[in-house]
Amino acid sequence: MPEHLLSPARPARGRLLSFLVMSPVLLAGLVGCASLVPTPENIVEGVVEQVAEQSGEDLDVDVDATGDGVTLPADWPGLPVPEGRLFSAIKMGDSFSLSVEVDSEDAARATADELAASGFEVLSETDYGELKGLVLKSAEWSVVYGWTVSDEGITVSYTITPVTS
């Protein structure tokens, strides 16, 4: 058996001391290279796109905590989008998913009403107080549309999938 496996483990106190000594060095290095440190959004996008690439799926992910850089996928089907801050847009195959922060429940409801007025049939509707949602369908698209109300604001989740025969 290799000798390093037989030697006693370094005590936890020694590992903690090493960590405390090295932390300022590592932090200084990271601060100096702030532009090289990946953001959570970039990490999520990269991991999801890599998994999809390995599975052979057509996937485009755009996530941004600040909402400054997210855009609708180029082939978005032209359905209405809630007015607000788009902070997530995902396209996988022929399906789409959006997350939008809106200013009011009226703003959240307006897009659902617009879909219904444009010919989408409302298959079901739920209202659990802080969580509301609808399932709608047209000849081309199935839509799951919902919003949550919390202390942080109102978030709309909007998923569109093509209707299959």
**CA 163 to each of CA 22, 44, 77, 133, 138: distance values in angstroms, whole numbers, following the listed order:** 56, 28, 13, 19, 8
**Residue among 143, 132, 76 nearest 107 (CA):** 132
Task: Tell me if 61 sits within 8 A of 77, measured CB to CB.
Answer: no
Per-residue pLDDT tens over the stretch 43-85? 444 544 554 455 555 555 555 555 566 888 889 999 999 999 9
| Per-position DSSP letters for 99-142, written without gaps between them | EEEES-HHHHHHHHHHHHHTT-EEEEEEE-SSEEEEEEE-SSEE
pTM for this structure?
0.63
* Average confidence (pLDDT) over 13-27: 39
Residue 90 near residue 124 (C-beta atoms within 8 A): no
Check: CB of residue 90 under 8 Å from CB of residue 123. no
pLDDT in the model for residue 15: 43
Q: List pLDDT tens digits, range 88-104.
A: 888 888 999 999 999 99
Give the model's pLDDT for residue 90: 86
